[in-house]
Homo-oligomer: A and B are copies of this chain.
Amino acid sequence: MTALHTTAMRLADGRRLVYYDDRPGAVRSTSDLRTLAPLGTRSELRHDPLQDEWVVMASHRQDRTHLPPADQCPLCPSGPGRLTEIPAGDYDVAVFENRFPSLSPDVGRCEVVCFTADHGASFAQLTPERLATVGAAWVDRIRILSRLPGVEYVFCFENRGEEIGVTLHHPHGQIYAYPFVPPRVRRELASAARWRAERGGCLFCAVLDRELADGARVVAATGGFAAFVPAAARWPFEVHIYPRRHVPDLPALDPDERAELLALQAEVLGRFDRLFDRPTPYVMSIAQAPVSTGRDLAHLRMEAFSVRRSAGKLKHLAGSESAAGTFISDVLPEHAAELLGRAARVDLAGRKGARNG
């Protein structure tokens, strides 16, 4: 366990903010000098009896901050005459409660994770030192949020790009602490339970073994992890990273393993950006064990997918996907893996990648 360098405070409306610094000694004592009305909004959970799923009603989000100009970015550090969500004049990583939460505090928790004070950077460009801080912050938040009453699943993810609805460009992720196990997680744990009952062992380990044996969809591998396009990928570009070791969640990795995983994720996201002549919109996320159920079945995984299917075209979800639930993919997973292999910065033999110097 590496030491955490943290400073905790409250924002003007009472929301919690925690600085996670790369190194000890940073002074993050600036108070939030804004005048903010307290949050009075409430989310509502409604159960859909047909799909047997919870839907979150968060109508207070309809008027959330939407694509402000860069000089009004609320995730940049504060400066003279310009007060943002981050009171300090600089920071490494900052985590705070979302002012427009999908899950209001009576229902769950929504946190924002700023990866860097540099407005124009991206997760793929973070230094190894910063990736370690982001990983340590995720683990700390997962531990803290998992202890909150009623929280059943902690979900760390990043939405990047206007094409998937991002309203702030500053590099940041989010953490949702749901009061239930979300449907995709619930279904994969049900599949893992069936697999174990019928064939024994871990479904996810079996999937990883199959991908490594096949090899056609593997885009990168390290001593501890393998990144591949799943055989039945839904999205034009989709990569899953599995630890070779059977671990249920991010806190179960040791710091070296975590660094290896995050470096691999940054490498994959860097390749996403080299696929086309513009930044690639993506969702990256961490799939892991729920708080109080299914821990014996779960196997940690990082995912990333993009909705961009070619330089000028996006994959949209329409009737088959949204109304029937069946994905139609225009890009073969083997072809996506080949393109992602070519987009490597440096190939396995040490030569420069084919597409970008």
Contacts and interface: CB of A to CB of B under 8 A. Distances in A.
Given A50-B191, A159-B318, A329 B230 contact: no
Interface string A324-339: 1111111111010000
A178 B49 CA distance: 24
Interface string A260-288: 00000000000000000000000101010
Contact of A52 (B158, B164, B187): B187
A188 interface: yes
A304 B314 CA distance: 22
A182 B190 CA distance: 18
Interface of A is mostly: mixed
A324 B285 contact: yes
A191 B51 CA distance: 7
B56 A328 contact: yes
Given A164-B316, A319-B158, A319-B159, A335 B178 contact: no
A165 interface: yes
Nearest to A162: B316
A325 B183 contact: yes
A184 to B, nearest CB: 4
Interface in A39-83: 46-59, 61-62, 66
A322 interface: yes
Contacts of A333: 46, 57
B50 A203 contact: yes
B191 A318 contact: no
A292 interface: no
Nearest to A323: B285
23 contacts: A49-B191, A49-B195, A49-B203, A50-B187, A50-B191, A50-B207, A51-B187, A52-B187, A53-B232, A53-B327, A58-B329, A58-B330, A59-B329, A62-B330, A153-B324, A157-B320, A158-B319, A165-B315, A165-B317, A176-B320, A187-B325, A283-B318, A303-B323
Nearest to A160: B318
A94 interface: no
